[in-house]
Amino acid sequence: MKKLFLIVSVLFAVIMSSCKKDEVQQQPVINLEKIYEGSVEGTGLKVELYSKQISQYAQYSTFWIAVKDAAGNPIQNATINVVPFMDMGSMQHSAPVENPSASAVDNLYKFSAVFIMTGNWALNINITANSQTGAVSIPLNIQAPAKPKVKSFTSSADGSKYFYAYIEPTSPVVGINDMEIAVFKTGPMMMTFPPDSSMTIGLEPEMPSMGHGSPNNVSPVHIGNGHYKGKVNFTMTGLWKLNLDFMSGGTLAGEDQYFEIEF
């Protein structure tokens, strides 16, 4: 009887372990919200789109894609190209995007997009995996954040239009915070937005209600792919204005630019 109980216990443990492994394999997403699930047109592939929040805003936004075969098994190597698209009737345009690598991490492909305005958008996604190629279009309603997180200027240096997006800090604290923004140059017909690496950016935080700034700030410098990183010092809570000047070579390309941060 003891031997039978032992056998049953071992079998149960093996089954539960297998189920847990399958669960981990099939459900790798932790602390993310599923905002879309569907099929990839012209293939047997399935796709799921995840974000940290259900509602989407006009800002620098990060997403995760899961690609699965017809049986629901995760695909680890896929070529994915994402094109944000907005049809305004009289004109159509895209937005800056940072496409994922061809290898999944924890069964997910990570990418980012910068929605430059509010309204109805689509993420047009082309996927090649398991010798199949197809497309899926995912609709998104983009809302306005509490404070604008994407702005633009026309360069006094070359006449081009640039968009810049706030990335960090997402949860500011009193003291020194990592600061990061991304800068993109507008291409023809606003269909491409190559990342910009040419700017020298000046940073000067200001607390308008108190009439003071803060010491020990580090102006953002380019670290790759259009991303600029520095340090900002918040000496107290409240509404802060992060004043930014953009220099191209020795020419002031964009002045009186800023983001407002309140915490």
Residue 9 clears pLDDT 60, i.e. is over it: no
Predicted confidence at residue 122, as pLDDT, reads 98
Q: Are residues 40 and 133 in the same domain?
A: yes
**How many structural domains compose the chain?**
2
Residue 22 clears pLDDT 70, i.e. is over it: no
Instruction: Express as a percent the part of the chain with pLDDT over 90.
Output: 87
Residue 11 clears pLDDT 50, i.e. is over it: no
Q: Mapped to the 3 state alphabet, what secondary structure does the chain carry?
A: CHHHHHHHHHHHHHHHHHHHHHHHHHCCCCCCEEEEEEECECCCCEEEEEECCCCEECCEEEEEEEEECCCCCECCECEEEEEEEEECCCCEECCCEECCCCECECCEEEEEEECCCCEEEEEEEEEEECCEEEEEEEEEEEECCCCCCEEEEECCCCCCEEEEEEEECCCCCCEEEEEEEEEEECCHHHCCCCECCCEEEEEEEEECCCCECCCCCEEEEEEECCEEEEEEEECCCCEEEEEEEEEECCEEEEEEEEEEEEC
Q: Are residues 192 and 91 in the same domain?
A: no
Task: Report in angstroms the alpha-carbon separations of 189 from 91, 125, 140, 160.
Answer: 9, 20, 22, 12
Q: Are residues 139 and 159 in the same domain?
A: no
Mean pLDDT throughout 50-72? 97
**Residue 23: inside a domain, yes or no?**
no
Residue 7 clears pLDDT 90, i.e. is over it: no
Q: Are residues 122 and 158 in the same domain?
A: no
Residue 15 clears pLDDT 50, i.e. is over it: no
Least confident of 14-18, 121-125, 160-164, 249-253: 14-18
Q: Are residues 134 and 203 in the same domain?
A: no
Mean pLDDT throughout 233-254? 97
Mean pLDDT throughout 74-95? 97
Residue 20 clears pLDDT 80, i.e. is over it: no
> Last residue of a domain, which of 143, 166, 188?
143
Please check whether residue 210 is in contact with residue 249, taking contact to mean a CB–CB distance below 8 angstroms: no
Tokens (6 digits) for 69 = 């075969």
Mean pLDDT throughout 24-49? 85
**Residue 178: inside a domain, yes or no?**
yes
Mean pLDDT throughout 136-141? 98
Query: Mean pLDDT in the chain?
Result: 92
**Residue 6: inside a domain, yes or no?**
no
Give the domain range for residue 68: 32-143
Residue 197 clears pLDDT 90, i.e. is over it: yes
What CATH number is attached to the domain comprising 246? 2.60.40
If we measure between CA atoms, which residue out of 178, 156, 186 comes closest to residue 257?
156
Please check whether residue 153 is in contact with residue 168, taking contact to mean a CB–CB distance below 8 angstroms: no
Q: Are residues 120 and 40 in the same domain?
A: yes
Residue 170 clears pLDDT 90, i.e. is over it: yes
Mean pLDDT throughout 202-220? 98
Q: Are residues 248 and 216 in the same domain?
A: yes
Predicted confidence at residue 113, as pLDDT, reads 98
Question: Residue 96, Cβ neighbours under 10 Å: how many?
Answer: 25
Predicted confidence at residue 30, as pLDDT, reads 74
Q: Are residues 136 and 160 in the same domain?
A: no
Q: Are residues 55 and 88 in the same domain?
A: yes
Predicted confidence at residue 28, as pLDDT, reads 53
Residue 191 clears pLDDT 50, i.e. is over it: yes
pLDDT digits (tens, 9 = 90+) for 106-137: 999 999 999 999 999 999 999 999 999 999 99
Please check whether residue 58 is in contact with residue 118, taking contact to mean a CB–CB distance below 8 angstroms: yes
Q: Are residues 185 and 226 in the same domain?
A: yes
Tokens (6 digits) for 179 = 């600061």
Q: How far apart are CA 157 and CA 249, in angstroms?
A: 9
Mean pLDDT throughout 173-179? 98
If we measure between CA atoms, which residue out of 58, 78, 96 comes closest to residue 133?
78
Q: How far apart are CA 164 and CA 245, in angstroms?
A: 12
Beta pairing class for 56-57 and 132-143: parallel
Q: How far apart are CA 13 and CA 253, in angstroms?
A: 66
Residue 152 clears pLDDT 50, i.e. is over it: yes
Q: What are phi and psi of 198, to 5 degrees?
A: -95, -10
**Residue 203: inside a domain, yes or no?**
yes
**Residue 246: inside a domain, yes or no?**
yes
Q: Are residues 108 and 37 in the same domain?
A: yes
Residue 25 clears pLDDT 70, i.e. is over it: no
